Amino acid sequence: MTQTMNLDSKDFANVVHAGNSEHTPCRFCRSVGKRRFFTASERQFGMGDEFTYFECGDCGSLCINSIPTQLSKYYPSHYYSFARNDGQHPQDIGWIRRKLRAQRATFNMYGTGLLGALVQRLGTDYFRYPWRWFQVAGVTPTSAILDNGCGGGALLRALRDQGFTNLSGVDPFIAESISEPNLKITKGEIFDLKGTYDLIMFHHSLEHVAEPARYLAAAAEVCAPGGAVIVRIPVADGYGWREFGEYWFALDAPRHLAIPTKKSMADLGVHCGLVLESSICDSESVCFWGSELYKRGIPAVRPDGQDTITADQPFPESELEFFRQRAREINAVDDGDLAFFLFRKPGAKA
Ligand SMILES: [Zn+2]
């Protein structure tokens, strides 16, 4: 029998002893040793269902103890990542625009190219993701890029709109596979894919799988030599978990099945044959306002599918600005609740 303990207790002693056959191994470090159990509720949609998690006594990761049998119930159709695009990303921008925007993307990533600089100056740029992700990965607009857990493919479509031409995504929860110009999205898992990629991205998707090691190993497998694997994921050894506990927005029970510490994430990469090149914290203000909502018993998404933060405006702008400032502060001291990891596959680029 597992035992649910008081969250305020940091005591790891009163737990099932190591080696107990009922023990789920830590989903990151595989330890079956001491751990602290706690209960976490579904709060994003206000369903309230409760789940047993544990904090690994060896590596500090947070893991759901057993996988809910009806996990898809917790991914309703208005789950945020199913959005296909924001209406600004047509399927085909035409080859002239594509070439010009690819020049602009190269300028935005690497600061090179007069034509790209000119397009950047004269054109309107709707890209709302950090170019730094792609710059540190070392990709070009023709690189083969895979987004694992891409949802409806919003990021991939935004990249296509910037002149990228070799884009793939995979997600088990979407309604059907999608094939469009320069973009292919597969309903399924990374294990189903045959290709080789210069960059594989996990944007807040690796915490949604029961066995992150399998997925990261699969990414390492399909990554070209010298290619990159990006993992953006919540981390348990940051401000969010420490300050908000089970109200922490990014705990997101039961969708988040395993949340590593910075070290257990880095160790898993090494275990999968990857080299950790860099990592930084990239928390956003939602760490604060989302967790505050949960403390007040307010879901982040209303029954009508609208975000509480925009529909109900529960915080004055001055407080939101304070939350944005706090997010910058925790990032600056490497204490954020979210982190970005850049792994490299050993070998020379072809
Ligand atoms: Zn562990």
Chunk the chain into consecutive blocks of 10 residues (it has 350) and report each block's average pLDDT, rounded to whole numbers: 37 41 85 95 96 97 94 78 61 88 96 93 88 97 97 93 97 90 95 95 96 97 98 98 98 97 97 97 97 97 92 96 98 98 93
218 C-alpha to ligand 1 centroid (Å): 21
Residue 133 CA to ligand 1 center (angstroms) comes to 28
- Residue 34 Cα, ligand 1 centroid: separation in angstroms? 10
The rounded Å distance from CA 24 to ligand 1 centre is: 11
Q: What single DSSP character describes residue 298? A: -
CA distances from 165 to 118, 162, 208 (A): 21, 9, 28
Does 202 fall in a domain? Answer: yes
204 with 233: CB under 8 angstroms?
A: yes
Residue 59, domain member (yes or no): no
What is the per-residue pLDDT for 5?
38
Residue that has been written with the tokens 């969708």 in this structure: 255
Distance 63 CA to ligand 1 centre (A): 9
Total domains in the fold of the chain? 1
H helical segments located in the chain: 95-110, 114-122, 131-137, 154-161, 212-222, 239-244, 262-271, 286-295, 308-311, 317-332
Would strands 183-187 and 167-171 be described as parallel, antiparallel, or unpaired?
parallel
Q: Are 60 and 237 in contact (CB under 8 A)?
A: yes
> Residue 58 Cα, ligand 1 centroid: separation in angstroms?
5
Q: How many Å lie between the centroid of ligand 1 and the Cα of residue 253?
A: 18
Both tokens of residue 42? 């579904």
The reply to whether 349 falls in a domain is no
Q: What's the domain range around 127?
A: 80-344
Rounded to the nearest angstrom, the distance between the alpha carbon of 239 and the centre of ligand 1 is 19
In a domain, residue 41? The reply is no
Query: How far is it, in rounded angstroms, from Cα 66 to Cα 179?
Result: 35
Structural domain contains residue 272: yes
CB 245 within 8 A of CB 7: yes
Cα 268 to averaged position of ligand 1 atoms, centre (Å):
10
User: Tell me, what's the pLDDT at 6?
Assistant: 37
> Domain containing 315 — which CATH number?
3.40.50.150
For ligand 1, the distance from its centroid to the CA atom of residue 244, given in whole angstroms, is 21
Q: Which helix (H) or strand (E) covers residue 146, if one does?
A: strand 145-148
Q: Does residue 4 fall inside a structural domain?
A: no
Residue 187 belongs to some domain of the structure: yes
| 3-state secondary structure (DSSP) of residue 36 | strand
Q: State in Å: Cα 23 to ligand 1 middle.
A: 12
Ligand 1 centroid vs 22 CA: distance in angstroms? Answer: 16
pLDDT computed for residue 11 by the predictor: 42
Cis peptide before 316 (omega within 30 of 0): no
Whether 172 maps to a domain, the answer reads: yes
pLDDT of residue 20: 43
